[in-house]
Amino acid sequence: MAVSLCTYECRLVPGLLQSEGYARAVFEGTVPVAPDSLLEDFMARRMERQRMLFERPTTPFSFIVEEHVFRRRFGDPEQMRQMLDHVLDLSEPRNVTLQIVPLEAGLHACLDGPVRLLETPRGRRLAYSEGQQNGRLISDVKEVSLLCQRYDTLRSQALNAKDSRGLLERLRGEL
């Protein structure tokens, strides 16, 4: 069990923040196509994991997400509104921070791709990086430290939480 989780995402809405419709669209779009039985299992597990945002109110969850992720259409305007509402709802608790890297931010500290950083109850820091058909748990202290430095720098390059929520609300209003 982690005592903190930091996530940077540049491809998709992070799984812990995905609405049911968004998650279903992601799972239905996989190649090879997942059988319906697996799809329902994926969906149930994805929605179940989101409960930890509320069940662990003293665990800090930090999300930094690229603006284009929220602009990418995955369904009709109503599905997009539901996704944005869901993200706004899940990022409301005090232990959840959402920051958006605006389109105009340009180049930034985490251009090498998505990463998750976590700290264990014993103070050990780990990272997880994933790409096409692979994922890698990183435990090397120097490598994790570098990724933490990049994440911390990106925090200063992204919008603050209040402005990030404002951006999501504006995007919702544009639908």
In the block, tokens 């103070």 appear at: 123
Domain count along the chain: 1
CATH of residue 149's domain is 3.30.870
Sheet order of strands, 4-9 included: 96-101, 61-66, 4-9, 115-119, 125-131, 134-138
What domain range includes position 143? 4-174
Q: What is the pLDDT along the chain (175 residues), one digit of tens a residue?
A: 789 999 999 999 999 999 999 999 988 888 888 888 888 898 899 999 999 999 999 999 999 999 999 999 988 899 999 999 999 999 999 999 999 999 998 888 888 889 999 999 999 999 999 887 788 999 999 999 999 999 999 999 999 999 999 999 999 999 8
